[in-house]
């Protein structure tokens, strides 16, 4: 499996020659839309910086507001309804968390998660190998709450997302506050991983922007 970051909350996950994109965004956010065909796209919520499916190439399956599991192209995608804010969606609406499974690796993409996870949701989610967590605050959880979610889920790999970058136009906090909470941080252009290569001790990995 190969995971690349496209900026903001958008990742490209390649498995078995098939491609899944999360929360596609466009130039309004400061990032270039992905211009190659994809097979599946997940959309955590209908805000412009997460739902730019009109830019996608090919004829992808769009997964949005989906609670039941979807099996397609070698991926299993399970949605979990959550909230974009700490007031049960009264401020910013509903957010969908997606658990994406391929090659016996469980990835959890939190979208614009705005609150900590309750115990029932943690139990529903189950095992998480790779966690994609927003850390920039303002519209999502901040670095402190993101660190609590990491502790709640106990993933093997943590990839921060949705934070201020040189390209990004949306006002967010930078990633450093989150990273300062961890002794070891690895930076790399992309992540390639098999189940056997998942680290025993949790690892924080910062990805470079693929189109940056």
Q: Output the pLDDT for position 165.
A: 94
Reported pTM? 0.93
Q: Output the pLDDT for position 138.
A: 85
Backbone CA torsion sign across 57, 76, 163, 200: negative
Q: Output the pLDDT for position 91.
A: 58
pLDDT tens-digit readout, 94-151: 899 999 999 999 999 999 998 999 999 999 999 999 999 999 988 889 999 999 999 9
pLDDT tens-digit readout, 66-76: 888 999 999 99
pLDDT above 90 covers what percent of the chain? 73
Average pLDDT over the chain reads 91
pLDDT tens-digit readout, 149-180: 999 999 999 999 999 999 988 899 999 999 99
Q: Cα 190 vs. chain centroid, distance in angstroms? A: 14
21-to-11, 76, 77, 107, 173 alpha-carbon distances in Å? 6, 13, 12, 13, 24
The dihedral formed by the CA atoms of 119, 201, 195 and 20, expressed in degrees to the nearest 10: 60
pLDDT tens-digit readout, 176-201: 999 999 998 999 999 999 999 999 99
Cα 153–63–198 angle (5° rounding)?
A: 35
Closest alpha carbon to 165 in 175, 157, 155, 153 = 175
How many other C-beta atoms are found inside a 10 Å radius of the C-beta of residue 9? 27
Q: Output the pLDDT for position 199.
A: 95
Q: Output the pLDDT for position 27.
A: 84
Q: Output the pLDDT for position 62.
A: 96
pLDDT reading at 211 higher than 80: no
pLDDT tens-digit readout, 44-60: 966 666 677 888 989 99
Task: Name the pLDDT band for 92 (thresholds 50, 70, 90).
Answer: low
Q: Output the pLDDT for position 30.
A: 83
Task: Domains for the chain: give ranges and CATH numbers.
Answer: 2-207 (3.60.15.10)
One DSSP character per residue, 125-149 reads H---SEEEEE-S-SSS--HHHHHHH
The dihedral formed by the CA atoms of 202, 206, 211 and 212, expressed in degrees to the nearest 10: 180
Tokens of 91: 């401020």
């Amino acid at each position: 499996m190969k995971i690349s970051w496209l900026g903001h909350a958008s990742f490209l996950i390649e498995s078995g020659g098939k491609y899944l994109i999360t929360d596609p965004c466009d130039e309004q956010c400061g990032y270039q839309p992905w211009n190659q065909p994809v097979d599946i796209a997940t959309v955590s919520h209908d805000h412009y910086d997460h739902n730019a499916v009109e830019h996608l190439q090919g004829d992808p399956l769009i997964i949005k507001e989906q609670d039941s599991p979807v099996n397609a192209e070698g991926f299993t995608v399970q949605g979990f309804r959550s909230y974009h804010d700490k007031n049960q969606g009264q401020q910013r609406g509903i957010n969908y968390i997606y658990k994406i499974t391929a090659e016996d690796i469980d990835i959890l993409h939190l979208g614009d998660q705005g609150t900590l996870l309750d115990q029932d949701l943690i139990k529903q989610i189950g095992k998480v190998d790779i966690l994609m967590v927003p850390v920039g605050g303002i519209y999502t959880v901040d670095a402190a709450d993101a660190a609590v979610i990491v502790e709640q889920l106990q993933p093997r790999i943590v990839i921060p997302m949705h934070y201020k970058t040189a390209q990004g136009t949306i006002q967010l906090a930078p990633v450093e506050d989150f990273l300062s909470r961890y002794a070891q941080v690895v930076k790399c252009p992309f992540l390639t991983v098999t189940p056997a290569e998942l680290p025993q001790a949790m690892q924080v990995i910062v990805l470079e922007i693929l189109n940056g």
